[in-house]
Structure 1
Amino acid sequence: MSEDFYSALGVSRDADEDEIKRAYRKKAAEYHPDVSDDPDAEEKFKTVQKAKEVLLDDEKRQMYDQMGHDRFEEADKRGATDAGRGGGMGGGGMGGMNDIFEQFFGGGGSRSRNGPRQGSDLKTRLRIDLEDAYEGVTKQLTITRPERCPDCDGAGHPPDADSRTCSACNGQGQQTTVQQTPLGRVQQTQTCSQCGGEGTIYSETCSTCRGDGQVRNEATLQVEVPGGIRSGQTLRMDGEGAPGENGGPNGDLLVEIQIEEHELFERDGDDLRLRHPISFPQAVFGDTVEIETLDGSVEMDVPAGTQSGETFRLRGKGMPRLRRRGHGDLYVQVRIVTPDSLNDEQREALEAFAEAGGEEIDVEKGFFEKLKRSF
């Protein structure tokens, strides 16, 4: 999406807060990666999320209107040193906007970098079979993920560790530099490298997490897979991602669904396709045949004179439509099967059939080859 944030939401530049919220809800429902078939849904969803966040914040909106879309995005990329935290599929994070404020308005770092921050989103894949995608299923999923250290509760140091003010940043948790850039005088504030933004240096680190505040553990989760889901679609599990920082909420876990190929059915959106063999007499005289579906067997009428390769439609026998009513259809393509061997009675009958049609065919050498070419 190359348009600016107003165009992305479909609102005018003087739109009020209520208009922006209504437009966002409409666009978010349209482009949510869990339900949208748009190949660019994930990117569009991120854009409308960011548009909403910028345009509903008076300071950010003022900066956006003054700088314009391209310069704002350039400043975001240059100044957002931790941009994208929590911004996985559908995340739309704005992690570096504090720096942008300081760059554009020449601030002195009054906004705290030590406030709560949401954890990053994690992503994994889950393979299911077509029957599971048809019925909907609850699956167990085991992942290895970062979690808050249980011994130091994410602090990175023992509770009784001695502490002192960081001399590199004077306890601010930030270090500020001033540069001249094509955008003008830029004041850039970064997290202090000595104390990691804490403003405090501790006498010892946690032996369990080695000061990271996080450990990697294996977790087993229950995933609810809705009926009708397609390969490539993503389920979001709120709060099951990486732990937040400074008391912030966890990120989310994004589960991309992969559906295994089926031995009988081919999927085409909400429709299914199936090849079904019939005999030569069934094709000539017509018959009622039993067809396998994902919901059990059903009967299908094969009319007299059916040709090999002809396709019949069974309405409502395809996949359920995700979060909508009804099912797709099942398309059955019939194939006439030529027998490998015949008994004497069958040979006589087929020879009589050929003679009745005025054909002089040596049944032993070529009749079935001609049948194959005909059907």
Structure 2
Amino acid sequence: MSEDFYDVLGVNSDASTEEIKQAYRKKATEYHPDVSDDPDAEEKFKKIQKAKQVLTDEEKRQAYDQMGHDRYEQAEKHGFDAGEAGGAGGMGGGPFGGMGGGGGLGDLFEQVFGGGGGRGRRRPRKGRDLRTELEIDLEEAYEGAEKQFTVERPEECDVCHGEGHPPEADAETCPECQGRGQVTQVQQTPLGRVQQTTTCPRCEGEGTLYSETCGECRGEGYVRTEATLSVEVPAGIQEGQTLRMEGEGAPSPEGGAHGDLLIDVSVRDHDDFEREGADLYYRLPVSFPQATFGDSVEVPTLDGAAEFDIPDGTQSGETFRLEGKGMPRLRGRGYGDLYVQVQVVTPERLNEEQREALEDFAEAGGDEIEIKDGFFEKIKRAF
């Protein structure tokens, strides 16, 4: 099934023309081929333009809502101008054989494709997707975790069960449309009679009027509530990745499936590690003797301490790799590596014995320096 024009622009089926135009400008800025890095930007941009063209044209949008996406696209492939559908079915001698005052869009579609195109026959539109954010620790990203969070979303009103009116409210057939939910206008033009069918403005397509409106939801059928949900965060998830919870989005205004809930994950900075993909980076402070003579030390990892041998003669800033000690890759494809960068720490204070030892070291190396004139600064530069 092709992507719905409302989904392409990220708006509800009841969005106003201004909301549709705003959504179009936002999407067009994001996916314009001249500025977007998306490899499918050109194709997406064409879809965005087509969606805006149809949904900002009152007649085309009405035809699109009545037919549904796939039937509308099929009609256009057969050279059918949906923007003039209301009149084509009523023109004598028209391209689809309508005789004066025919049945309009529904009859026309039935003649061409052998099936009705009315709202009641098409697949109910899915509810819109919602989006929220979730922050986790690096340890949770390493292990995976079940996280609880709260999200505000529309849900069916418990008082009226989504009907918009109390159960005891009196109902009457809408006198404007006689219960059909649509009204038809016929105009005489030089080309013949043009017939246009639109949603009834009085009952808003329901076909029925009620004596009372639900006081809880004010007739909307939905109220905004705060829901507590639980999601499984997979081990190895990275900053900026999105989790999808199917059916936890907004309800459909047409009785279809709920939309999905999209969860954008962010990972807090860690005190010890920096992350790049599945790899971790750690700075290991060592003393001058450890770097000179080598040593065996423990290095922290997210899976406990690991033994690490510092080779003798190690230079400050030198980096070593501990294979498989990084982050897990998604879907169980192994682990990244831990990169340990050695930082030789110069002592800020020395006792007399240490000072004499370093003076002997400097003299043994042939350095003729005065201690007070920057000996320790020279040691820092050397290592």
Same fold (TM over 0.5): yes
* Structure 2 residue 288 is matched with structure 1 residue 264: no
Q: Which blocks of at least 5 consecutive residues in structure 1 are unaligned? A: 6-37, 52-68, 85-93, 180-185
Q: CA RMSD in A?
A: 3.5
The 1:149–1:331 alpha-carbon spacing in structure 2 relative to 1, beyond 3 Å, is same
Partner of 1:315: 323
Q: CA deviation at 1:187?
A: 8.1
* Structure 2 residue 202 is matched with structure 1 residue 223: no
The 1:307–1:142 alpha-carbon spacing in structure 2 relative to 1, beyond 3 Å, is same
Decide which of 161, 170, 173 is 1:162's aligned counterpart.
170
2:341 counterpart letter in structure 1: Q
Q: CA deviation at 1:320?
A: 0.6
Q: CA deviation at 1:373?
A: 1.6
- Alpha-carbon distance in structure 1 between the residues aligned to 2:156 and 2:218: 12
The 1:217–1:304 alpha-carbon spacing in structure 2 relative to 1, beyond 3 Å, is same
Q: Tell me, what secondary structure is at the counterpart of 1:296?
A: coil
Could you tell me the TM-score, scaled by structure 2's length? 0.70
Could you tell me the TM-score, scaled by structure 1's length? 0.72
Matching of residues 84-95 of structure 1 within 5 Å? none
- Alpha-carbon distance in structure 2 between the residues aligned to 1:39 and 1:319: 28
* Structure 2 residue 309 is matched with structure 1 residue 301: yes
The 1:187–1:348 alpha-carbon spacing in structure 2 relative to 1, beyond 3 Å, is farther
2:119 counterpart letter in structure 1: R
Q: CA deviation at 1:323?
A: 1.1
Q: For each residue in 1:160-202, what CA deviation from the matched residue of structure 2 results, as whole angstroms up to 9, or x when unmatched? A: 22222234444332456799xxxxxx98765433322212211
The 1:140–1:271 alpha-carbon spacing in structure 2 relative to 1, beyond 3 Å, is same
* Greater C-alpha radius of gyration: 2
The 1:326–1:264 alpha-carbon spacing in structure 2 relative to 1, beyond 3 Å, is same
Q: For each residue in 1:6-54, what CA deviation from the matched residue of structure 2 results, as whole angstroms up to 9, or x when unmatched? A: xxxxxxxxxxxxxxxxxxxxxxxxxxxxxxxx9749x88x96xx99xxx
Q: CA deviation at 1:99?
A: 6.8
Asked if the contact 2:64–2:72 (Cα under 8 Å) also holds between the matched residues in 1, the reply is no
- Alpha-carbon distance in structure 1 between the residues aligned to 2:202 and 2:142: 54
1:173 counterpart letter in structure 2: G
The 1:198–1:96 alpha-carbon spacing in structure 2 relative to 1, beyond 3 Å, is farther
- Alpha-carbon distance in structure 2 between the residues aligned to 1:117 and 1:198: 16
Partner of 2:118: 112
| Count of equivalent residues | 305
Q: Tell me, what secondary structure is at the counterpart of 1:294?
A: coil
2:54 counterpart letter in structure 1: A
The 1:232–1:214 alpha-carbon spacing in structure 2 relative to 1, beyond 3 Å, is same
The 1:40–1:80 alpha-carbon spacing in structure 2 relative to 1, beyond 3 Å, is farther
Partner of 2:358: 350
* Aligned-pair identity (%): 58
Q: CA deviation at 1:232?
A: 1.1
Partner of 2:213: 205
Asked if the contact 1:117–1:249 (Cα under 8 Å) also holds between the matched residues in 2, the reply is yes
1:112 counterpart letter in structure 2: G
Q: CA deviation at 1:104?
A: 6.1
Q: For each residue in 1:129-166, what CA deviation from the matched residue of structure 2 results, as whole angstroms up to 9, or x when unmatched? A: 11111110011111121100011110101122222223
Q: For each residue in 1:61-83, what CA deviation from the matched residue of structure 2 results, as whole angstroms up to 9, or x when unmatched? A: xxxxxxxx976884366444799
Q: For each residue in 1:70-117, what CA deviation from the matched residue of structure 2 results, as whole angstroms up to 9, or x when unmatched? A: 768843664447999xxxxxxxxx976677758168252453335633
